[in-house]
């Protein structure tokens, strides 16, 4: 089965530094998402992206966050100035069609971000 690939699997950074989390969605998918999960807490929606635009974003996704699809395959999440509370597992997901249908979301295996 095709997979969503996320790199790196672990990222350690100093508070205030910029980080870029990378994702390669499944090749024929058109809708992309970022979620995060703080250790021991629920999975939270950050942002959805379609046609090179943000479709929807949560309150968590403030000005410190941005997403980009720099080429035909990668989908990135940038955090400009990391805070301690940004430490979490970040999941990328993609779907072939709109998630407003019963479309299946495929999740990557996550990037564990640790902010020191």
Instruction: Decide: is 104 part of the binding site for other proteins (CB under 8 A).
Output: yes
Tokens at residue 110, please?
């996550």
Residue of the chain from 5, 30, 45, 76 that contacts other proteins (CB under 8 A) = 45
Widest CA span of the chain, in angstroms?
40
Number of residues that this document lists for the chain: 116
Minimum distance from residue 16 beta carbon to other proteins (Å): 26
Residues 14-43 that bind other proteins (CB under 8 A): 31, 33, 35, 37, 41-43
Residue of the chain from 11, 13, 58, 64 that contacts other proteins (CB under 8 A) = 58
Which parts of 1-116 are beta strand (E)?
Answer: 5-7, 10-13, 19-24, 31-37, 43-50, 53-57, 65-68, 75-79, 88-95, 106-107, 111-115
Spell out the residues 6+ positions from residue 58 whose beta carbon is closer than 8 angstroms to its own. 44, 45, 46, 47
Instruction: Decide: is 60 part of the binding site for other proteins (CB under 8 A).
Output: no
Instruction: Decide: is 48 part of the binding site for other proteins (CB under 8 A).
Output: yes
Residues that bind other proteins (CB under 8 A): 31, 33, 35, 37, 41-45, 48, 55-56, 58, 89, 91, 93, 98-102, 104-105, 107-110, 112
């Amino acid at each position: 089965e095709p997979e969503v690939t996320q790199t790196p699997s672990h990222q350690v950074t100093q508070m205030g530094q910029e980080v870029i989390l990378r994702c390669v969605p499944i090749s024929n998918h058109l809708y992309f998402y970022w979620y995060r999960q703080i250790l021991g807490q629920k999975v939270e929606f950050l942002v959805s992206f379609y046609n090179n635009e943000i479709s929807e974003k949560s309150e968590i996704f403030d000005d410190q966050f941005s997403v980009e699809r720099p080429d035909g395959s990668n989908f990135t999440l940038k955090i400009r100035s990391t805070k301690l509370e940004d430490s979490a597992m970040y999941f990328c997901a993609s779907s072939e069609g709109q998630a407003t249908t019963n479309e299946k979301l495929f999740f990557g295996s996550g990037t564990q971000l640790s902010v020191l």
